[in-house]
Structure 1
């Protein structure tokens, strides 16, 4: 049974493993090896600080973290990752709905990877623009998507 709960600092190591594994197993379909290597590098302190400073939710299945995401006070979704083994099973939909419900924002926004864009569009987000971003010497395409709160 899936449980969605708040992030706790004790979750950090497992979340980072999930983050890296998802990038290398899923996002590699849309980005090259140099890009996923740059993307997957993590500063643990900054990562933890980001999760603590935002509404961060964890999806757990029998003591295993299978997804996580966060949303800030303005409705911006910064991190949103579901384990490869749990994708296309409704886990992401549950987590996204949970994050949206937890926010008082009038509009939700996300800078989505190429890989996740179709998921967010299915969830009612609309593309505002395509972006070219740089991270650790690598160039990435992502998309800014918006959704009005109900």
Structure 2
């Protein structure tokens, strides 16, 4: 059900990323924001680094990859995307919980992320707290997002 991403997964992860934004973001983001955000996988080198400079865990069912979540060595959740056909079914919580458990087993005491408006509820369900809002740019387009963190108590 879970495994680490390998190079042969790259194209499907690009597709899941793009589909997730194109299908889910329009309810919360402007048309220009959706276009700018969903174009990121077109930069092959940067998107490859985005996926493979973290331990990117895949959630699979019997036939396909449902989503992915990247955990960096400092506790940063660098990516968290689900195929839009599998949202609101508990898969996001399942995937994020698995990644957090992996980090805890490696001794991580703190996790942090920058969550979009549509991923923030999943992070909150998994115990993350909003610590600030920030504005970032994709090209000329600005985005607001949540800076969130979770501390593991002994």
Calculate the aligned-residue CA RMSD, in Å: 1.2
Query: Could you list the runs of 5+ residues in structure 2 that have no partner in the other structure?
Result: none
Q: Distance in 1 between matches of 2:13 and 2:82?
A: 10
**Aligned match of 1:34:** 32
Q: Distance in 2 between matches of 1:52 and 1:133?
A: 22
Higher strand fraction: Structure 1 or Structure 2? 1
Q: Distance in 2 between matches of 1:149 and 1:44?
A: 35
Name the SS for the 2:73 alignment partner: coil
Aligned residue pairs total 148
Q: Distance in 1 between matches of 2:51 and 2:12?
A: 13
Q: Distance in 1 between matches of 2:18 and 2:152?
A: 30
Name the SS for the 2:119 alignment partner: helix
Deviations 1:53-100, CA, capped at 9 Å, x for gaps:
211111112231110010101111111001111112121111111111
TM-score in terms of structure 1 length: 0.93
Q: Distance in 1 between matches of 2:13 and 2:77?
A: 16
**Aligned match of 1:80:** 80
Query: Could you list the runs of 5+ residues in structure 1 that have no partner in the other structure?
Result: none
**Aligned match of 2:19:** 21
**Aligned match of 1:106:** 109
